Structure 1
Amino acid sequence: MGTDRVGGVRRPVRAVVYAACGVVLLAGCASMPDRGDLRDVESTPRQDSQLQVFAMPPREDAPPAEIVQGFLEALTSDDPQYATARQYLTRGASGDWRPERSTTVLAGGPDIQVDRVTERDSTDNYAFTLTGSKVARVDDQQSYTPMGGHYSQPVHLTQDKKSGQWRIDVLPQGVVMGQSDFQRNYMSVNKYYFASNTWADVAPAATAVADPVFVRRRVDAMTQVVRSLLSGPTKWLGPAVSSSFPAGTALRRGVTSLVPDDQNRLTVPLNEKASGVGREECRQMATQLLFTLQNLTPTVDAVTLQGADGGTLCSFESGRAETVATRGSVKRPDYLYFVDDKQRLVRISDTGTASGAEPVPGALGEGVQKLQSAAVSWDERTAAGVGSDGRSLFVSSLVAGGALDAPALQSQGRAEDDRLTAPSWDARGDLWVADRDPARSRLWVLEQGGGEPLEVKVPGLKGRVDAVRVAADGVRIALVVKADNNSKSLLIGRIERDEKAGERPVVSVLGLRSAAPELENVTAMSWAGDSRLVVAGREQGGVQTMRYVQVDGSTPEGPPPAALTGVQSIAAAEDDRLPLVASSSEDGIVRLPSGAQWQKVTKDGMAPVYPG
């Protein structure tokens, strides 16, 4: 790792430990000027995951500028408690500083500006201002939120009268770093809780809901994730989920690290709050842990939960977790569905070709009612289709000989584009669709796909819903919202139900937040995992793109899908072994197998969907 140059100023070089081979590379700090402006602290290039980066302590008689620069470098190291970073602070400042409070991510790293007034007026104190362009913030619950705007925070230094050493005595709370340093230091992990707002009488098992958080990648990530799971869901998801861990449950006092044994079993010692749990509750606790840990690493096959006295509360293997709760789709889809050139709903096997397409059993496959879009329930027993004029929503069982019932819902929109969106099912069997009628645009849900539609309240919505995709868990929903200026953004909302005895529930979508802030015109989207979506749209500046995004607005690791022009719709399965499928204005229906390029399925078809 070489020495970076920032505006002609040499930066302190961190020590890099090669964990795989045990070699330690140390580089000394070069002298830095203590006057003049210092420019952008560039984020360092991403490092190999086997590397651990440790900060260098302050050099004897280092000038103020070098102290600030060294402190910022120390924030990007793999020091678990930021012990080296604290060496750049006065004793009082170190006691007051709370690095765990937040992490602020800046586009290119913090820019250091000298406060000239303080510089002239005193010889024993010095002030700087850290500035930059905000990208995101990770809060004290490790929850990620995209941000924009200008960052500006003061940093003040004082010179110790006895030692003559400069140290920071005023600094912002939390941690600040550049975007590439954040990507090197942090990783996104899904922790899992149980849906608490679905209709209980139709729930065969608990539904696990992903709650993504960011943890430090090489600072005992497993223990961090377990602590985060025990502390409860993030504020955004909390109102819609519950945890099986009793309130106040934490790791037993004195437990500092969790490591699986040679049988891939992780033992988790808990405090006294968990001591009275029953067998079924303990199984649910173990399921939450297994779902969470397997999202972090495949090396945990079983967990053992211990009480405060060291006794075993329960042991549970990963293969049994699906008997306690479902996660995503209940099963791998049997078919890929699309609307063919006769405007019928047809299906092919997930690995088949268009030549093998067959009309679905039932009325929607007979062609009596022509369709423009459709959705198939997760159990692949029921389908919903929007008529070719976009005015009517039909629901029909996928059984041969079934009659087509009257429309379940109709729109009064004058233009075709001002009528019904494509529908979407959640795994509980509820059907969602939006009416784009400018006179009264609304979001609807049909309980179990039928009955009187329920209008869904969406407080704070600015614009109209132009596309709907509900997550399999029935807790989160993705909406493409069209604003008055015709831009289309992707928002994620939290579904909440207020049920009162003898009355129909009040269903609301709350907590709307952006999932693709860099796209100014989203044209298509689909869920592509427990907390991931695939999105097609136009970037600010007019570049068409397709990418994966997380529900919290962050960008997941890994390459984006291969470019595709003229994307009209996208279909992704919860099972990531199945290919991504899209409808293109130029190529018809195409699919993207893993490690391959887009392949044509059929030119004569549209609106492909997997169940959901």
Structure 2
Amino acid sequence: MGDDREGGARHRPGRAVAYAVCGAVLLSGCASMPDSGDLRDVESTPRQDTGVRVFAMPPAEDAEPSEIMQGFLEALTSDDPEYDTARKYLTADAARTWRPEQSATVLANGPSVVPNHQPAGREAADTLTYVLAGTRVATVDARQAYAPADGSYRNDVHLAKDAKSGQWRIDSLPQGVVMGKTDFQRNYTSVSKYYFASTTAVQTTGQPVAVADPVFVRSKVDPMTQVVRSLLDGPTRWLGPVVRSSFPTGTALRKGVSGLAPDDQNRLTVPLNVKDSRIGSARCEEMATQLLFTLRNLTPTLESVELQGPGGHRLCDLAEEEAESAAWHASAQRPDNLYFLDGKHRLVRLPTGSGSGTSAVPVPGPLGRGERQLRSVAVSRDERSVAGIGADGRNLYVTSLEPDGSLGGPVVSSQGVGADDRLTTPSWDAGGDLWVADRDPRDPKLYVVKQGVGKAVRVTVPDLPGHIRDVRVAADGARVALVVEKDGKQSLRIGRIVRDEDSGERPAVVELRPAAPDLEQITAMSWAGDSRLVAVGLEQGGVHQMRYVQVDGSALDGPAPAALSGVMAIAASEDERVPLVAYSEDDGVVRLPSGAQWQKVDKDGTAPVYPG
């Protein structure tokens, strides 16, 4: 399986041909496999990601069973759009029933292959079963959603010799495809689709809130068309219950459409099967907004989209600026200020775009005057309100960022014995709701305060694997990140927020899933994009590190932030152009401008936050 198969098997000459003009590479198997003996890996020549498309070789005449297996596994990692070459290694019946798009299983080092022991006899001479085995890392389902996985993988592939032609072919195999982690990273890319939160609207404008839904598509197989089809098919199963799509049910690309690409004006035309009688102008605008947000995530230079109905009839078109007005998404919201607590326990702020010589100034209102010593704070998305946790961690206060603002009584209180067993840093969503957790091990709780005022409502978290130690709600109000502790170890989990105010039931956080499966002892985390977080934690068997992680638990391409010791808190904006900020025990509040090293902001400062 490409770079993921190592050692063990003897080599035979490869038959790889590269076409520089047409950008294609033809691959054949480059190792044979044992006819008996212990399980061993299958080798092939290493391939580097050169940007060219890769196509596998069809089976050779009179190929041995081991060569059929090798060629088939190579074909699974090629850029053949419909896996036509892979199907040539199958019998006609198997080719007809095999569904490679049903799933992808990702293994740590690619599948090991060994013949299964066969009974003796004439019939056995014309059949052979191979076992594919390995250690699972992840799966990608039929809706292209990634999920971390573990445990062993083991599946049989059965081959038979055709009585007439004498050729070996695979006649029984598992559905989907299987490949190693390195091949998966070369063949697939992560793209966030966008839908709208079902129960969240922007507090100040009433705009619908866009929610990112990351999926994996084959990176060199018409990715733009793949992503559009995926968007029209609807959200992934996990996110589906809390988002809506503006596309009418059954909307699809017009039959035969492929090769979608922007023109020389960075404008994309998308032909759909939907008639304009089914949609109004406002709905069409939302449809185009979903497409533009999604495709700009794949092609940042895209400036506008036009939707066409049957016969090329124009439904609507939308430019980037209009999309930003039609819907709200966090990564397009540049915060005005960075906030933190100074050495006098005052809440201060610093303009986001200010230079290194600019000093922070106290915010208007009681917290800027230092009327209450605080442990941590959270500023609302519109930068009009602030929530603060008292220095002893016991009480949550909410006030406005106005000169005449006043500080009333606590909104939430904890009975935890020590400060570290009381209230977490609070967090706001775009709808203006405030989230906080009580870490009291005797009675741990998660709360939401509607619009930051009124009575706190307890949130149910069924199947919580431990106690909540930290909480950050996503701007969209549909997802929440939790640091959960069990047996002295912490894990980063993402939960889906379910709210049904009409039913009178409590809100709930359900189906927690890991966002950083290989990190433990997590000391700080923050949202750092529509579908990305930054976390500080201990890698299993390693040292403390800071890294970006995807909400689906997949690995991110690109470098990690520069190392920083003693990190106790971290702040990031969903707008990835805004510098990362941290609180270090050694250096106070520091920030990391793009392309630079960490810079000191305030030696005595603590608890830095961006709005949210």
Query: Which category of TM-score, normalised to the shorter sequence, fits these structures?
Result: over 0.9
Whether the aligned pair in 1 keeps the contact of 2:197 and 2:211 (CA below 8 Å) is: yes
Tell me the alpha carbon deviations over residues 410-436 of structure 1, each in whole angstroms, 9 at most, x when there is no partner.
111111111000001111111110011
* The one of 128, 136, 139 aligned to 1:137: 139
Secondary structure, counterpart of 1:209 in structure 2: strand
**Superposed, which structure 2 residues align to 1:16-415 within 5 Å?**
17=18, 21-22=21-22, 32=32, 35-37=35-37, 39-41=40-42, 47-48=48-49, 50-118=51-119, 122-198=124-200, 204-272=206-274, 275-328=277-330, 331-350=333-352, 351-353=354-356, 356-415=359-418
* The one of 419, 437, 442 aligned to 1:439: 442
CA distance in structure 1 between the partners assigned to 2:156 and 2:44 by the alignment: 20
Q: Per-residue deviation at 1:546?
A: 1.3
Q: Per-residue deviation at 1:43?
A: 8.2
Secondary structure, counterpart of 1:116 in structure 2: coil
Equivalence for 1:455? 458
Q: Per-residue deviation at 1:117?
A: 3.1
Change in Cα spacing, 1:18 to 1:580, as seen in structure 2 (3 Å) is farther
Equivalence for 2:473? 470
Task: Single out whichever of 341-350 and 158-167 deviates more from structure 2.
Answer: 341-350
Secondary structure, counterpart of 2:118 in structure 1: helix
Tell me the alpha carbon deviations over residues 370-389 of structure 1, each in whole angstroms, 9 at most, x when there is no partner.
01100111111111110000
The yes-or-no answer on 1:423 pairing with 2:407 is no
Whether the aligned pair in 1 keeps the contact of 2:284 and 2:316 (CA below 8 Å) is: yes
Whether the aligned pair in 1 keeps the contact of 2:26 and 2:56 (CA below 8 Å) is: no
Equivalence for 1:500? 502
CA distance in structure 2 between the partners assigned to 1:92 and 1:167 by the alignment: 11
CA distance in structure 1 between the partners assigned to 2:482 and 2:17 by the alignment: 44
Equivalence for 2:573? 573
Q: Per-residue deviation at 1:366?
A: 1.4
Q: Per-residue deviation at 1:30?
A: 5.7
Task: Single out whichever of 520-529 and 202-211 deviates more from structure 2.
Answer: 202-211
Whether the aligned pair in 1 keeps the contact of 2:30 and 2:45 (CA below 8 Å) is: no
Task: Single out whichever of 275-284 and 528-537 deviates more from structure 2.
Answer: 275-284
Task: Single out whichever of 473-482 and 596-605 deviates more from structure 2.
Answer: 596-605
Secondary structure, counterpart of 1:123 in structure 2: helix
CA distance in structure 2 between the partners assigned to 1:235 and 1:598 by the alignment: 40
Gaps of 5+ in 1: none
Change in Cα spacing, 1:445 to 1:54, as seen in structure 2 (3 Å) is same
CA distance in structure 2 between the partners assigned to 1:2 and 1:254 by the alignment: 35
Whether the aligned pair in 2 keeps the contact of 1:282 and 1:314 (CA below 8 Å) is: yes
Secondary structure, counterpart of 2:311 in structure 1: coil
- The percent identity for this pair of structures is 60
Whether the aligned pair in 1 keeps the contact of 2:195 and 2:210 (CA below 8 Å) is: yes
Whether the aligned pair in 1 keeps the contact of 2:29 and 2:44 (CA below 8 Å) is: no
CA distance in structure 1 between the partners assigned to 2:263 and 2:175 by the alignment: 38
Change in Cα spacing, 1:551 to 1:46, as seen in structure 2 (3 Å) is farther
CA distance in structure 2 between the partners assigned to 1:331 and 1:343 by the alignment: 28
Q: Which amino acid aligns with 2:196?
A: F
Whether the aligned pair in 2 keeps the contact of 1:391 and 1:416 (CA below 8 Å) is: yes
Change in Cα spacing, 1:606 to 1:11, as seen in structure 2 (3 Å) is farther
Tell me the alpha carbon deviations over residues 513-563 of structure 1, each in whole angstroms, 9 at most, x when there is no partner.
110111122111100000000011011114212111111000121111122
CA distance in structure 2 between the partners assigned to 1:46 and 1:311 by the alignment: 45
CA distance in structure 2 between the partners assigned to 1:11 and 1:377 by the alignment: 64
CA distance in structure 1 between the partners assigned to 2:46 and 2:367 by the alignment: 54
CA distance in structure 1 between the partners assigned to 2:349 and 2:400 by the alignment: 15
CA distance in structure 2 between the partners assigned to 1:89 and 1:411 by the alignment: 64
Tell me the alpha carbon deviations over residues 575-603 of structure 1, each in whole angstroms, 9 at most, x when there is no partner.
11111111122222221111222222222
Change in Cα spacing, 1:250 to 1:581, as seen in structure 2 (3 Å) is same
Q: TM-score, normalised by structure 1?
A: 0.95
**What count of residue pairs does the alignment treat as equivalent?**
608
Change in Cα spacing, 1:431 to 1:86, as seen in structure 2 (3 Å) is same
Task: Single out whichever of 117-126 and 385-394 deviates more from structure 2.
Answer: 117-126
CA distance in structure 2 between the partners assigned to 1:482 and 1:60 by the alignment: 58
Task: Single out whichever of 411-420 and 262-271 deviates more from structure 2.
Answer: 262-271
Equivalence for 2:516? 516
Equivalence for 1:533? 533
Whether the aligned pair in 1 keeps the contact of 2:493 and 2:513 (CA below 8 Å) is: yes
Q: Per-residue deviation at 1:333?
A: 1.3
Whether the aligned pair in 1 keeps the contact of 2:588 and 2:606 (CA below 8 Å) is: yes
Q: Which amino acid aligns with 1:457?
A: T
Q: Per-residue deviation at 1:75?
A: 0.3
CA distance in structure 2 between the partners assigned to 1:418 and 1:384 by the alignment: 19
Change in Cα spacing, 1:90 to 1:28, as seen in structure 2 (3 Å) is closer
CA distance in structure 2 between the partners assigned to 1:99 and 1:587 by the alignment: 52
Change in Cα spacing, 1:185 to 1:440, as seen in structure 2 (3 Å) is same
Q: Per-residue deviation at 1:8?
A: 3.6
CA distance in structure 2 between the partners assigned to 1:113 and 1:46 by the alignment: 24
Q: Per-residue deviation at 1:42?
A: 5.7
Whether the aligned pair in 2 keeps the contact of 1:529 and 1:575 (CA below 8 Å) is: yes
Q: Per-residue deviation at 1:257?
A: 3.0
Change in Cα spacing, 1:330 to 1:454, as seen in structure 2 (3 Å) is farther
Q: Which amino acid aligns with 2:532?
A: R
